[in-house]
Structures are given as C-alpha cells and as structure tokens.
Amino acid sequence: MSDQNLVLTAIGDDRPGLVEELAATIAAHGGNWCEASMAQLAGKFAGIVHVSVPTERVEALNAALAQLKGLKVSVETASEQKSVVAGRHLTLTLVGHDRIGIVKEVAQVLARHAVNVEELATFTTSAPMSAEVLFHAEAELTAAPDFDVRALKRDLEKLSDDLMVDITLGETL
C-alpha cells in the first residue's frame, strides 16, 4: 500500500491537550507526523502539519479530524514539489517602527524581486527608550541563483528611513 502526504491546518481556542488530541488522531489512523509549525496567537492555537497516511485510511482520518472538539481542521493533499523557486537561500531580518501595511509593503518588494517566502515570523516589541512599537520580521527566503541581493536590500530600505535590514546569504540550493 502507498502513503499519501497531507497538509493539515488546525485552529481553535488554545488549551492544554490540543496537540495531543491532534497527534493521537493522526497516529490512530496510521499517520506519520513528518513536520509541523504551531503557535499560540491572540488566544488561538494555530498549526500546520505535514503528515503521511496510508492511502486507504485518508478518508477515515478526514472524518475523525472533523469530529475533534474545539478544533477546525482543513486537509489538503501535499504537492511533490519542494519549492516554487530553486536557487539561493536567504535569511532576512527587519526591524522598524510598526505601522499599518508594513507586511504588505515588504511582501510587495519581495514579489517584485521574485523572492519566494519559505518561512515568515513577525512580532512587535516596545522600543527601549520610548513608547513606540517596533515591528520585527524574520524570514527564510529563496531567490534565483543570479539574484541581486543589494537591489533587494536597497528597495526594502526605501520603505522607511527607520527600517533596519539584514540579509544573510546561504548556500546555493
């Protein structure tokens, strides 16, 4: 029998035991938990999980996931494709004054440079010497092998005078 790769997204009110219930349901249907990213945001639990499940048990797993109390789970068949963009790995760190639209502006610059966002984490903190709120972004990116990192940094820095941009190049993928 073959396995099917699935990507589950789950959201619900945060409480102890949610991950255990999700993991137990997957295991009870012969599923292997391959990788996941989970967080608690504004009182909600949110997670995305890649699982491998015997093909003949996918339907039963879907039904069991739909029965989980207090957790909405969406199931998608995973793609065999690893990444949309093959090439250079980049790590991006941004810090600047928080404002409405900052993520949209950063995402527009990345898209204009054909940079793929593999992972993104954002958060805000209080500035140490003032009451201002600082925006922080940490991202793992992929760009074409001939990508111009200086042009990306320049365009990101144009978004705001106070935006500090750090881009670290990884190995060519």
What are 3's two structure tokens? 């396995």
Q: Topology of domain 3-77, per CATH?
A: Alpha-Beta Plaits (3.30.70)
pLDDT score of 165: 85
**Mean pLDDT, 10 residues at a time, the chain of 173 residues:** 94 96 98 96 96 98 97 92 71 92 95 95 91 92 92 92 80 45
Does this chain's domain 3-77 share its CATH topology with 88-172? yes
Q: Which pLDDT score, from 0 to 100, does residue 167 have?
A: 80
* 60 token code pair: 């039963």
- DSSP 8-state symbol, 152: H
Sign for the pseudo-dihedral over CA of 57, 118, 70, 34: positive
Instruction: With beta carbons less than 8 A apart as the criterion, state whether 97 and 104 touch.
Output: no
Kind of pairing, strands 116-126 and 133-143?
antiparallel
Token pair recorded at residue 7: 């990507």
Taken as a whole, the chain contains a residue count of 173
* Top-tier CATH class for 88-172: alpha beta
Segment (H or E) for 22: helix 18-28
User: Rounded to whole angstroms, what are the CA distances from 39 to 9, 29, 36, 139, 167?
Assistant: 12, 24, 10, 16, 25
Residue boundaries of the structural domains of the chain? 3-77, 88-172
Q: What is the dihedral of CA 148, 107, 77, 142, to 10 degrees?
A: 20
